[in-house]
């Protein structure tokens, strides 16, 4: 697969790059960032996927996430995709709303027009981009984990729960844990998938757990001063679902923290070390 290098910069001994390619899944060009730490020739490194939230691109976490030091210390490749297809002819919300359309792909494959041709973020993130990463970077695809923020936290949880044999660790910052039950999710899932609520369940972490999906453990950080906490995020729903299913959930409510990258960057190192510990475990 052809890959175009946009920029590369030296950081903590490794290389932070931004790349672009023509996506078959979305029918558009897609950009993403990858940090590759310094490593021995021929080495294959574990991969941490980071899914971003509403209105974001790969650039938000790349510039504000403060992840590179720990990735360099623990030998982790860090991959940050975009949040939606972009470009001429890509459908957007008619009113230009921030929480649907461009920048708000919700990590699903749309079944509703006019979004069907391009909004195939589930396929892009779970199939196409991993194949590209495996081909173009020194990635050990037997050691992957996934994390995300807000809408990206929703994506990380649903993808991690759907592919438990692929991802050794799953964590999130301020995730939308039950999109079927909150305005952000209801708008997006209805718009992309239609009004049949049963079709939403595979893109709802709480519903997936209720329907039998399992992982060993989860790590969630949530700011108590987050203005979206009560209406949109509702982490207690995930807490209840995990308790009923026997999933070990570490839910840390952080006093005074909001929904921003000031919050995310504060606890990013904790999450990456948590992922690195699980990625280091030898299977078998």
What distance in Å separates the CA atoms of residue 234 and residue 175, rounded to the nearest whole number?
A: 9
Q: Is 226 a catalytic residue?
A: yes
Count of the separate structural domains present in the chain: 1
The residues, any chain, with a CB within 8 Å of residue 278's CB and separated by 6 or more, are 145, 168, 169
CA atoms of 73 and 70, how far apart (whole Å):
5
- Sorting pLDDT into bands at 50, 70 and 90, what band is 94? confident
Token pair 């995300």: residue: 148
**In terms of pLDDT, which residue wins out, 217 or 284?**
217
Mean pLDDT, the chain, as a whole number? Answer: 97
Task: Give residue-wise pLDDT tens across range 53-75.
Answer: 999 999 999 999 999 999 999 99
Whether the predicted model's global pTM rises above the 0.85 cut: yes
Task: Give the range of the structural domain holding residue 42, as residue numbers without chain letter.
Answer: 3-280
1-13 mean pLDDT: 95
> How confident is the model over 233-266, as pLDDT tens digits?
999 999 999 999 999 999 999 999 999 999 999 9
Q: What is the C-alpha to C-alpha distance for residues 99 and 151, in angstroms, rounded to an integer?
A: 9
pLDDT number for residue 262: 98
Distance, CA of 140 to chain centre: 19
Can you give the CATH number for the domain in which 151 is found?
3.40.50.1820
Give the pLDDT score at 284.
Answer: 53
Q: Provide the pLDDT for residue 281.
A: 79
Catalytic residue from among 150, 154, 221, 271: 150
Active-site annotation holder among 58, 203, 259, 275: 259
pLDDT at 116 over 70: yes
- What is the tens place of the pLDDT at every residue in 177-224? 999 999 999 999 999 999 999 999 999 999 999 999 999 999 999 999
Q: Is the pLDDT of residue 170 over 60?
A: yes
Note the pLDDT of residue 95: 86
Closest among 164, 192, 165, 188 to 176, alpha carbons compared: 188
In the set 82, 109, 204, 226, the catalytic residue is: 226
């Amino acid at each position: 697969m052809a890959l175009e290098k946009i920029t590369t910069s030296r950081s903590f001994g490794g290389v932070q790059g931004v790349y672009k390619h023509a996506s078959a899944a979305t029918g558009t060009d897609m950009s993403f960032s990858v940090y590759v730490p310094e490593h021995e020739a021929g080495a294959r490194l574990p991969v941490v996927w980071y899914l971003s939230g509403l209105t974001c691109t790969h650039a938000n976490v790349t510039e504000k996430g403060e992840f590179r030091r720990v990735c360099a210390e623990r030998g982790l490749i860090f991959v940050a995709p975009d949040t939606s297809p972009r470009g001429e002819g890509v459908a957007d919300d008619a009113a230009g709303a921030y929480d649907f359309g461009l920048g708000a792909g919700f990590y699903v494959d749309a079944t509703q027009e006019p979004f069907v041709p391009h909004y195939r973020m589930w396929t892009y993130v779970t199939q196409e981009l991993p194949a590209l990463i495996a081909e173009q970077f020194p990635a050990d695809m037997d050691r992957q984990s996934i994390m995300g923020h807000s809408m990206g936290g929703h994506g990380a949880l649903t993808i991690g729960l759907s592919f438990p044999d692929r991802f050794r660790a799953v964590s999130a910052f301020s995730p939308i844990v039950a999109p079927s039950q909150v305005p952000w999710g209801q708008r997006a899932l209805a718009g992309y998938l239609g009004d049949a609520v049963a079709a939403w369940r595979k893109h709802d972490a709480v519903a997936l757990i209720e329907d039998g999906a399992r992982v060993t453990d989860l790590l969630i950080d949530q700011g108590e001063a987050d203005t979206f906490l009560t209406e949109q995020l509702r982490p207690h729903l995930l807490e209840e679902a995990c308790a009923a299913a026997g999933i070990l959930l570490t839910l840390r409510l952080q006093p005074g923290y909001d929904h921003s990258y000031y919050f995310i960057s504060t606890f990013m190192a904790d999450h990456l070390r948590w992922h690195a510990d699980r990625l280091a475990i030898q299977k078998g």
